[in-house]
A and B are shown apart, each in its own frame.
Chain A
Amino acid sequence: MTATAWDPSQPILEINNLSISFFTRLREIPAVMDFSCTVMAGEAMGLVGESGCGKSTVALAVMRDLGKNGRIVGGSIKFKGRDLTNMNEEELRHIRGSEIAMIYQEPMASLNPAMKIGAQLAEVPMIHEGMSKDDAWTLARQIVADVRLPDPDRILKSYPHQLSGGQQQRIVIAMALMSKPALLILDEPTTALDVTVEAGIVDLVKDLGEKYGTSMLFISHNLGLVLDVCDRLCVMYSGEAVETGAVADVFDRMQHPYTQALFRSIPLPGADKNSRPLISIPGNFPLPHERPNGCNFGPRCSYFTAGLCDKADVPMVDIGGHDRHGSRCLRVDQIDWAAPPPAKAAIEKGEIGPVVLRMEDVRKYYEVSSGMFGGGAKKVVKANETLTFEAREGETLAIVGESGCGKSTFAKVLMGLETATSGKIMLYDRDIQSTPIEKRDTGTVSGVQMVFQNPFDTLNPSMTVGRQIIRALEIFGQGANDQERSARMLELLDLVKLPRAFADRMPRQLSGGQKQRVGIARAFAGGAKIVVADEPVSALDVSVQAAVTDLLMEIQRKNKTTLLFISHDLSIVRYLADRVMVMYLGHVVELGTTDQVFSPPYHPYTEALLSAVPIADTRVKRKRIVLEGDIPSAMNPPPGCPFQTRCRWKSHVAGGLCEKEMPPMRTLAGGHQIKCHLSDADFAGMEPVIQIAAE
């Protein structure tokens, strides 16, 4: 170790005018331009931006791991005063893992599947400190206990695939902490995890940062998370840092149009689909080789001034009076930042009509047999239990829950991809429960359609956009001939606000948001009455999410469609849902209007879920309720109430009733249903999880 004298009052990491390019055979593609930032000891710095803005590239440049095609073409990265850009492999190897460590987005992919956890952890001190194998394993055991994993000895001896996603991420964190690094780089560490698990990981990272005094570079697209974790942040757009400063300054006194537009496009508490709709950012993210002259955000900016913003590269300017606050905007001084957004006309609330879909006591069990020839004990996975609800015409019903709660199974049963084990699904007056999709008539099939989560996989890559929509029209028996169908297809493109020229394009030529619009057009091709939207915007960037959500709402109002909106993102659910259904382990634990569900009394699970969602608003005070442990397996659910293993209210119910008996569905005031044993007094005493401080 070359522990050169380093003054702790100096920055740990100092990036100056860093430029990174990727070289292809055709051209040089600049990925990051003129990026500067400083991380002091013990400070947590957030890097925020949409996908493709270059935030991960910066992180990999700090690790000097840009691959064969990537190269640092300018600037310097100083770590503890030493320039990383001109170090050789040997010197880098001593720094990687020992002084700078990294935590990755996908924990499963980041752990070696063929090595035991213990060996992967122990390797770090063995390489860097020459520790003996036994000492390294002892240290590994201690660190595993530090990241709050139960039964460290068993975990050390297991392989990565034997752990849950949250446990894997804790192991990746433990691995990064093995040699007490001075700088920790976290690249979207919780994106692949459920919200309640995410909350636990975020708490852990914050505590460990304080405990070991580690500096952090926290990369995320989630502004709420950055508010929770970081002291300072840097907003990136298309390869440039556009605004940087202390979290409080950037959140409350933003000085760049992109930052402002970003905040206006995310659903914060108070936004409402009718009275205060979101403002989406117009246009598309520029591709790296199609960046405009001058300001990269220019073409999408509402303050754009021709002749000024599109002339030359925009430098970063300091904002006077703030703590190291900078913005890359030429019109900082001319824009009135406190002005409210141009009021978007409030939209009339859509009318809610008669009941179109009713589910009564629907259950879906899967039989899983172990053994090759179907021998061995049969196990029953109860994916859905006693699902009872109704949905009305023109209504948005959100179905909320974490992975494994049975929301996708529910969608499959409704679509007819699976048939329910028992119960009734009434579409208007017909029972469609036992009719699989192959046997449903065209009217039913086109009347119940789906918008899928991942627009990248659900379009046929070798068919033009127009052809795919026409294909759907053919299947749904729409239009008498090809002319009519292609006319209808163009109308559908209009409906989803895509240019008609897109009909001849291939899916690969479209951006994520545009593909999702095609998916929506296809779902509405047969005049769908009920559309199941399975996380339709979660794969999209923040600025595009608002536009796609608005589009869905608009089509819904026009067609009086019933929208079943499956999501884990409570912010967006609060923004657009009329009613919310919360699911846990196959059970509906709470059902009510959005206001009822988002304010007390809560089901204990809803309470935890609400407190786990990070909100990008400094005025919001949240109560922290971190759930212990993982979601139990549906194969082996706990006896009694499904949530009892993680419930913090369990002690309020006398006689261990929660462990013995399945609570009944109780109907509270206003038709609000909660499946819980808690007494009315307990419910009345619940405090709201989210409070907005008075302005």
Chain B
Amino acid sequence: MLKFLGRRIFMMLISAICITFVVFFLTNLAPNLEKVAKSEAGSRISDEEVASWLEKNGYTQPLLKRYGEWLGVAPGWTWSDENGVTTGRCIAPGSDPVTTPRYCGILQGNWGNSNVFKSPVSTVIGKRLSVTGVLMFWVMVTMVPISLLIGVMAGMREGSRTDRALSSFSIASTATPEYVSGVIMIVIFASSVTGLKWFKGTSASDVSDITFQNFFLPVATIALYGIGYIARMTRASMTEVMTAQYIRTARLKGVSFRNVVLKHALRNALIAPFTVIMLQFPWLLNGVVIVETLFNCKGFGWTLVQAAGNNDIQLLLGCSVIAVLVVLVTQLISDIGYVFLNPRIRIS
């Protein structure tokens, strides 16, 4: 088991490096850098000035070297101008170049500075991620049990009236995009059209002010979409298991229907949806863009859009590191969970 874990973590690191390198390469293409130079040093500078600005700020070094600097495995660039003032990646303005460390990258905890938010990337991401984290948590807490319940109830008696009703509901909920269901919910629950005004249609408020009223609608909107999807998967898996021969064995052993479902079918039926549920985490992290915009909730998705829209290279890179880590960690958990659900798979 430990060997397996070690190997998986090693694989994770390799893939993380590969993916971040791709992102680094794409965000550091020449036109992007030019934009950075113009936004930093003034939008009307000439091409020569752009070139010299890029050189002074270490952007003209080979791509691999700069990737290494960003990662923190290569020493940061330094630049001495004609006045003898040394600037560099690791030298904060006004500090002594001699005392600063040579390496400063992700590994050293230096995520760079965000151009848009004018603050360190780590602070920006930390703050925004916590908003999305709370959102995700409540989505998972509502979505997973409800969808599994619906899926199992629908799948245990294929073709019954319950099955048809629940299946219709899940298809409808999956087929409704979030921007549609979100708007409908706002209209019904948070506007003067119906006059209900039970919940707030916006959750722009701070992390410290997470209330049921603020968060109910975004959580419901995301969960509704996911419920249908997971419920369909669970139903398919459940109907298949219910026709398996070992279910007949159990039934003909005299096991009651309730126990056939709970003791014999459930564990086998959960194997397939489990993977889907784990895949929901990365989807939630990046897919919340629409909902966060709709409800004006400034979370991770919103940050990502800001970073991409404003050519904020450091922030974009930071976001991709987080996204990659979440994907890889959830997949690791999913593989380990799989072993517990399915005794036929053993890690050796």
Interface residues, chain A, with chain B CB atoms under 8 Å away: 63, 65, 68, 93-98, 101-102, 104, 106, 109-115, 123-124, 127-128, 159, 161, 172, 175, 370-373
**B252 with A96: CB separation less than 8 A:** yes
Give the distance in Å from the alpha carbon of A98 to the alpha carbon of B255 in the complex. Answer: 11
Q: How far is the CA of A98 from the CA of B342 in the complex (A)?
A: 29
B113: min CB distance to chain A, Å: 40
Chain B residue nearest to A64 in the complex (CB):
B252
Known contacts A128-B254, A159-B344, A161-B343; is-contact A115 B264 (Cβ 8 Å):
yes
With A93-B254, A127-B255 already in contact, the answer to whether A370 and B348 are too (CB < 8 A) is yes
Main secondary structure of the interface of B (DSSP, over half): helix
Q: List 8 A-B contacts (CB under 8 A).
A: A96-B251, A98-B254, A109-B244, A110-B246, A111-B246, A112-B268, A115-B264, A161-B343
B268 and chain A: residue at smallest CB distance: A114
A104 adjacent to B253 (CB under 8 Å):
no
Q: Which residues of B contact A (CB under 8 A)?
A: 7, 159, 244-246, 248-256, 263-264, 267-268, 341-344, 348
Question: How far does the alpha carbon of A63 sit from the alpha carbon of B251 in the complex, in Å?
Answer: 10
Contact (A113, B246) CB under 8 Å given A161-B343, A370-B348: yes
Residue of A106, A113, A373 most packed against chain B (CB within 10 A): A113
Residue of B nearest to A370 (CB): B348
B256, B263, B344: the one within 8 Å of A113 (CB): B344
CA distance A123 to B264 in the complex (A): 11
Given contacts A109-B246, A110-B246, A97 and B344 within 8 Å (CB-CB):
no
Rounded to whole angstroms, the CA-CA distance of A233 and B204 in the bound complex is: 80
Separation in Å of the B162 CB from the closest CB of chain A?
15
Q: Is the CB of B254 within 8 A of A94?
A: yes
Given A113-B268, A114-B268, A114-B341, also A65-B244 (CB < 8 A): no
User: In the complex, which residues of chain B have a beta carbon less than 8 angstroms from the beta carbon of A68?
Assistant: 159
Could you tell me the distance in whole angstroms from the C-beta of A93 to the nearest C-beta in chain B? 5
- How close is B241's CB to chain A, nearest CB, in angstroms? 10
State the Cβ distance, B18 to closest chain A Cβ, in Å: 17
Point out the residues of chain B lying under 8 angstroms from A114, CB to CB: 267-268, 341-343
| Complex interface: chain A residues within 8 A of B250 (CB) | 112, 123
CB of B11 to closest CB in A, whole Å: 9
Neighbouring B residues of A172 by C-beta, 8 Å: 249
B residues within 8 A CB of A159?
A: 343-344
A57 CB to nearest chain B CB (Å): 14
Closest Cβ of chain A: how far from B179's Cβ, in Å?
A: 40
- CA of A112 to CA of B245, assembled, Å: 9
The docked-state distance in angstroms from the alpha carbon of A124 to that of B263 is 13
Residues of B within 8 A of A94 (CB): 254
State in angstroms the CA–CA spacing of A93 and B258 once bound together: 12
Chain A residues whose C-beta falls within 8 Å of the C-beta of B159 in the assembled complex: 68
* Chain A residue contacts of B246, Cβ below 8 A: 109-113
Chain B residues with CB below 8 A from A102, complex form: 249, 252
Verify B268–A104 contact, CB threshold 8 A.
Answer: no
Task: Report the separation of the CA atoms of residues A476 and B159 in the bound assembly, to the nearest whole angstrom.
Answer: 50
CB-based contact B245/A110 at 8 Å = yes
With both chains docked as a complex, state the minimum distance between the C-beta of B109 and any C-beta of chain A, in angstroms.
Answer: 32
Known: A114-B343, A159-B344. 16 other contacts (CB 8 A): A65-B248, A93-B255, A96-B254, A97-B255, A101-B252, A102-B249, A109-B244, A110-B246, A110-B249, A111-B249, A112-B268, A115-B263, A115-B267, A124-B254, A127-B256, A175-B249
Is there an interface contact between A63 and B252, defined as CB atoms closer than 8 Å?
Answer: yes
Instruction: Find chain B residues with CB under 8 A from A101 CB.
Output: 252-253
- B343 to chain A: closest residue by CB: A159
Interfacial chain B residues near A161, Cβ < 8 Å: 343-344
Which residues on A sit within 8 Å (CB–CB) of B264?
Answer: 112, 115
B24 to chain A, nearest CB (A): 27
Which residue of chain A lies nearest to B269 when distances are taken between CB atoms in the complex?
A114
With A112-B268, A159-B343 as contacts: A175 and B254 at CB distance below 8 Å: no
A172 to B250, CA, bound (A): 11
Tell me the smallest distance from the CB of A640 to a CB of chain B, in Å.
29
A93–B251 Cα distance when bound, in Å, is 8
Q: A113-B344, A115-B264, A161-B344 are in contact. Are A106 and B245 (CB under 8 A)?
A: yes
Q: How far is the CB of A122 from chain B (nearest CB, A)?
A: 11
The 6 closest A-B pairs by CB, nearest first: A97-B254, A97-B253, A109-B245, A96-B254, A112-B246, A159-B343
Give the complex CA separation of A115 and B267 in angstroms: 9
Contact A124 B253 (CB under 8 A): yes
B13 vs chain A, min Cβ distance (A): 15
